[in-house]
Amino acid sequence: MRLSVDLGESFQIALRALRANKARATLTTLGIIIGIVAVILTMTAANGLQRAFRQSFSSVGTDVIYVSRMPWIVMNDFFLYRNRPRLELRQAEALAHKLQGKAIVNPTIDNQLDVKYRAETMEGVTIIGTTEKQTQVASAQPETGRFLTEFDVSRRKDVCVIGTDIQKGLFGSANPINQEMKIGRTTFRVIGVMEKQGGSFLGGPNFDRQIFIPISSYVKAFGGDRGRQDVNVSVKAPSQEAVSNLEFEVIGEMRKIRHLRPSEPDNFSLNKLDTLVGAFNNVMGVVLLVGLLVTSISLFVGGVGVMNIMFVSVTERTREIGIRKAIGAKPHSILFQFLFESASICLTGGIIGIAFASILTAVINAVLMPASVSVTILGTAVAVSIAVGVVAGFVPAYKGARLNPIEALRYE
């Protein structure tokens, strides 16, 4: 009972002191403000990145192995892969044959071409030649119309399924189904529109800006084995657990198909969502590390500033501490009084920081990627401010609490 009375009253006493010295308190909080802005922005960036990542790659299956010439993530080691021979369509077909019954195999070829509908043109659209198995291997489904069928593939029909960006860009609000559009120089009929999958993740593929056509029609219109495009093969395992075994099998079969000797390394790559997640986590790790560094430095600087000010405050009020002790204040009352003062200073700085960071977050949200300040982040920012206040203010507050009342009363 006594302690809670002390706490409540100490808080009031602290607030009173703050109000008396507003200018000084505001200046001190500058370091804290910057630190809190850094804390919040780091967390919102991390959150936003994660959300954007998950959104963008939701269509990449977790139980799918993607076989291609190059690995997905290529950085300084490009020269290692440059000389690999292409993946050819007949190799893909051989793999499908070998894995029949054990997995769903879907070969694709893709390239970037210009597409046209009446007066509208879109340049550099990704055209993907695929089979009817596409919708089994990836989660994205058509929203209107239908997807390709085995019949379309076997008959090399000039039909296409377009992404939502294509619909918006070429057809606007008109219904694209059964309309004829040009892909490159060939006319295709729209039979379906894919569901929206979310925007491009920091320059990665935009899954809404694609058009699916039968792979046979692709070869017919744009050349397959005669052309220079790479074939990619998606292999979907029957279950999550079967993936690792399937990997071994795929590697074994591909090596045979591509006539590799036992001593030669693989000249193709198996990619999985895991790989992307791994790369993403690396990026996230860097973002968090940088953020943490900036935050720690600013909060440290801010904390030192607060500690400094609290030393000044305690010294200035030495006489006052003596008076309070003379009329019965116990050391812990003095300690709490000054701790509350320094926590209040930091909390004020924190609130200002939250305001700034919220504005910045709104800007990021509008310009770069989805970002918002969640309640958790707000709570963390508040807790951090108070913690910095308590830690920074502790030594001066302790010194004040330990003052000898007689000497303190004599202090000028």
Partner 1 sequence: MAHNGNDPARTPSGPTLLLQDVVKTYVMGADTVHALRGVSLSIDRNEYVAVMGPSGSGKSTLMNVIGCLDVPTSGTYSLEGQMVAEMSEYQLADIRNQRIGFVFQTFNLIPRSNIFHNVELPLIYAGVPKTERRGRVVEAIERVGLADRMKHKPNELSGGQRQRVAIARALVGRPSIILADEPTGNLDSKTGDEIMAILDELHSGGQTIILVTHEDYIAEHALRAIRLRDGVIESDTESRRRVGHAN
Contact with partner 1 (CB under 8 A) among 54, 97, 146, 330: 330
How many of the chain's residues bind partner 1 (CB under 8 A)? 24
328 binds partner 1 (CB under 8 A): yes
Query: Which two structure tokens, joined as six digits, stand for 28?
Result: 């001190």
Contact with partner 1 (CB under 8 A) among 320, 369, 380, 398: 320
324 binds partner 1 (CB under 8 A): yes
Query: Which two structure tokens, joined as six digits, stand for 399?
Result: 């010194």
Smaller CB separation from partner 1, 169 or 331: 331
310 binds partner 1 (CB under 8 A): no
Smaller CB separation from partner 1, 101 or 328: 328
d(CA 86, CA 239): 29
Least CB distance from residue 332 to partner 1, whole Å?
9
Least CB distance from residue 389 to partner 1, whole Å?
20
Please provide residue 192's backbone torsions phi and psi, each rounded to the nearest 5 degrees: -170, 160
Smaller CB separation from partner 1, 119 or 327: 327
5 binds partner 1 (CB under 8 A): yes
CA distances from 128 to 108, 185, 207 (A): 6, 16, 11
**Can you say whether residue 229 is alpha, beta or left, with left for phi > 0 and alpha for psi between -120 and 50 degrees?**
beta
Smaller CB separation from partner 1, 109 or 401: 401
* Residue 93 neighbours by CB under 8 Å, 6+ apart: 107
Least CB distance from residue 30 to partner 1, whole Å?
24
Smaller CB separation from partner 1, 205 or 405: 405
323 binds partner 1 (CB under 8 A): yes
d(CA 358, CA 52): 19
Residue 170 is classified by DSSP as I
319 binds partner 1 (CB under 8 A): yes
Least CB distance from residue 18 to partner 1, whole Å?
10
d(CA 29, CA 383): 16
Contact with partner 1 (CB under 8 A) among 99, 126, 405, 411: 405
Query: Which two structure tokens, joined as six digits, stand for 299?
Result: 């909060």
Compute the radius of gyration of the chain from its Cα atoms: 32
- The count of residues in the chain is 412
CA distances from 339 to 13, 18, 35, 188, 192 (A): 11, 12, 20, 74, 66
d(CA 259, CA 269): 15
Contact with partner 1 (CB under 8 A) among 16, 54, 146, 155: 16
The residues that bridge with 190 in the sheet, in sequence order, are 160
d(CA 195, CA 202): 21
Smaller CB separation from partner 1, 45 or 408: 408
d(CA 332, CA 338): 10
22 binds partner 1 (CB under 8 A): no
Q: How do beta strands 180-183 and 231-236 pair?
A: unpaired
d(CA 203, CA 193): 23
23 binds partner 1 (CB under 8 A): no
Smaller CB separation from partner 1, 9 or 114: 9
Residue 112 in 3-state DSSP? strand
118 binds partner 1 (CB under 8 A): no
9 binds partner 1 (CB under 8 A): yes
Contact with partner 1 (CB under 8 A) among 132, 331, 360, 386: 331
Least CB distance from residue 2 to partner 1, whole Å?
5
Smaller CB separation from partner 1, 153 or 403: 403
406 binds partner 1 (CB under 8 A): yes
d(CA 325, CA 321): 6
Contact with partner 1 (CB under 8 A) among 179, 333, 365, 380: 333
Smaller CB separation from partner 1, 16 or 256: 16
User: Interface residues with partner 1 (CB under 8 A)?
Assistant: 1-2, 5-6, 9, 16-17, 20, 319-320, 322-331, 333, 405-406, 409
